[in-house]
Amino acid sequence: MREARSRTLDLVADLSDGQMIGPRLAIVNPPIWEIGHVAWFQEFWVLRHLRKQRPLLEGADALYNSTDVVHETRWDLRLPNRHKTLEYMGAVLDRAIHLLQSSDNPVEEEIFFHLFSLFHEDMHDEAITYTRQTLGYPPPKLSAATARRPGAGAFPGDAEIPGGTFMLGATPDFPFVFDNEKWAHPVHVKPFRIARAPVTNAEFAAFVEDGGYLKRKFWSDEGWLWRESGGASKLEQSFAKFFGKESKPKTEPLSSPGKIDHPVYWERESGGRWLQRLFDTCVPLSEHLPVIHVNWYEAEAFCNWAGRRLPTEAEWEMAASCEPGADGRGITERKRIFPWGDEPPAPDRANLDWSAMGCVEVGALPDGDSAFGCRQMIGNLWEWTASDFQPYPGFVMDPYKEYSQPWFGTHKVLRGGCWATRSRLIRNTWRNFYTPDRSDVWAGFRTCAR
């Protein structure tokens, strides 16, 4: 718990008071609000819900309860200043730790809310990281971060998955799972072929150069409407104005006004070379890195152009979790917790925990391969799937009812985690979910043969 709070504070330590507020955007929160919300969530569920303690900060519910506080009003709230916010965060953490240490035999509900508040903070730390990317802030200064690994190149080709019936979802013997993972249930999957690695920048650039964004036949009705609306262009324009970056030397925008024809953080140099904005710096597009910051519509359009398709979440989980049968046919009943087995993540298996401060090339980390030879299914980038976010059979809400249920039917499932995901949080059964228009998160995709 202390380590998680230290990471939260490290992620904002270098930001000015103005940056802690930031511009009013629909896809991010003011960082000063976000860190206060993390503490409030812990206080509300651990101290007040479990032990009926009085609030430590008067009026905190009206400031930080994300269920009740409308998103666009969070910039207008009379929030405590930075010093008082940090004091509040420290007081909550100290009391939560004392509560845990003084409980000789915590009941299941206590354990659940201590873990939930920890993982909730982990998820917000990832959100703070992509907020820094969205707003063009410098990368966070973290002592644990290392230089990026040397290039490993591409990793082309498909893995053959024999299909069969397997148990999709989590089992009750796992220490902690979220309600949308419950419970494992039989699903039959036909044999399929899935890419051994995510789509790279070079592969996606071929789609862009071929005019893929401009050809209606590759896009769904909803995707074409998103492209025509200029959602990504409007996002770039909004923070460009905020930071006074409306004119950018040595680059020229490729997008026509109001329409989208390349990923949101790509820019074309006058000489024709593609650049990509990573936090506050534009760098040449690296061909063997996975394409990121593309939304579900863009992934779907690329697949249509390439004659491929997105995997369903059942296919994704089978490729990540299952093992081939002893006779080379079918699959075994055993499911791995992680693609490589049941051992916890390590730096030579998965790019997690901000260790590389960005994505690594798709050919890296062979020690993390699944039994079928798929690489980087955990870490590096979230992967869009074809599946709508829906409850599993027999779904029952956890006590924090707002976590999953309100989003069923409107979001798409992503799997695998990214480089800013905590290793203690991720596993093969973990289901993330975003609306299909979101391109601000660290998300890309891998494809399946049709």
Tell whether 260 and 348 lie within a shared domain: yes
In the chain, the number of structural domains is 2
- The CATH number assigned to the domain holding 43 equals 1.20.120
Tell whether 195 and 325 lie within a shared domain: yes
Give tens-digit pLDDT for 276-302: 999 999 999 999 999 999 999 999 999
Residue 80 CA to residue 101 CA, distance in Å, equals 29
Instruction: Note whether residue 139 is domain-resident.
Output: no
29 CA to centre of own chain: 16
**Of 82, 109, 134, which marks where a domain is finished?**
134
**Of 89, 110, 134, which marks where a domain is finished?**
134
Q: How far is CA 218 from CA 191, 221, 222, 309, in A?
A: 25, 10, 12, 12
Instruction: Note whether residue 353 is domain-resident.
Output: yes
Tell whether 200 and 333 lie within a shared domain: yes
Instruction: Note whether residue 200 is domain-resident.
Output: yes
Tell whether 117 and 234 lie within a shared domain: no
Residue 436 CA to residue 404 CA, distance in Å, equals 16
- Please report where in the chains the tokens 């049968």 appear, as a residue: 325
Residue-wise pLDDT tens for the chain (450 aa)? 999 999 999 999 999 999 999 999 999 999 999 999 999 999 999 999 999 999 999 999 999 999 999 999 999 999 999 999 999 999 999 999 999 999 888 888 999 999 999 999 999 999 999 999 999 999 999 976 665 666 799 999 999 999 999 999 999 999 899 999 999 999 999 999 999 999 999 999 999 999 999 999 999 999 999 999 986 544 444 444 343 433 333 333 333 446 899 999 999 999 999 999 999 999 999 999 999 999 999 999 999 999 999 999 999 999 999 999 988 789 999 999 999 999 999 999 999 999 999 999 999 999 999 999 999 999 999 999 999 999 999 999 999 999 999 999 999 999 999 999 999 999 999 999 999 999 999 999 999 999
Q: Show the CA angle centred on residue 126, arms to residues 124 and 129, nearest 5°.
A: 110
Tell whether 216 and 357 lie within a shared domain: yes
Tell whether 80 and 157 lie within a shared domain: no
- The CATH number assigned to the domain holding 288 equals 3.90.1580.10
Which range of residues forms the domain containing residue 77? 2-134
Residue 45 CA to residue 40 CA, distance in Å, equals 9
From 346, 338, 343, select the one nearest 374 (Cα to Cα). 338
**Burial state string for 321-356 with b = 16 or more CB within 10 A and e = fewer than 16:** bbeeeeeeeebeeebbbbbbeeeebebebbbbbbbb
Phi, psi torsion values for 114, nearest 5 degrees: -65, -45
Instruction: Note whether residue 141 is domain-resident.
Output: no
Instruction: Note whether residue 140 is domain-resident.
Output: no
The HSE-up count of residue 248 (CA atoms within 13 Å, CB side) is: 21
Tell whether 122 and 190 lie within a shared domain: no
Give tens-digit pLDDT for 11-34: 999 999 999 999 999 999 999 999
**Of 99, 134, 169, which marks where a domain is finished?**
134
From 375, 349, 333, select the one nearest 167 (Cα to Cα). 333
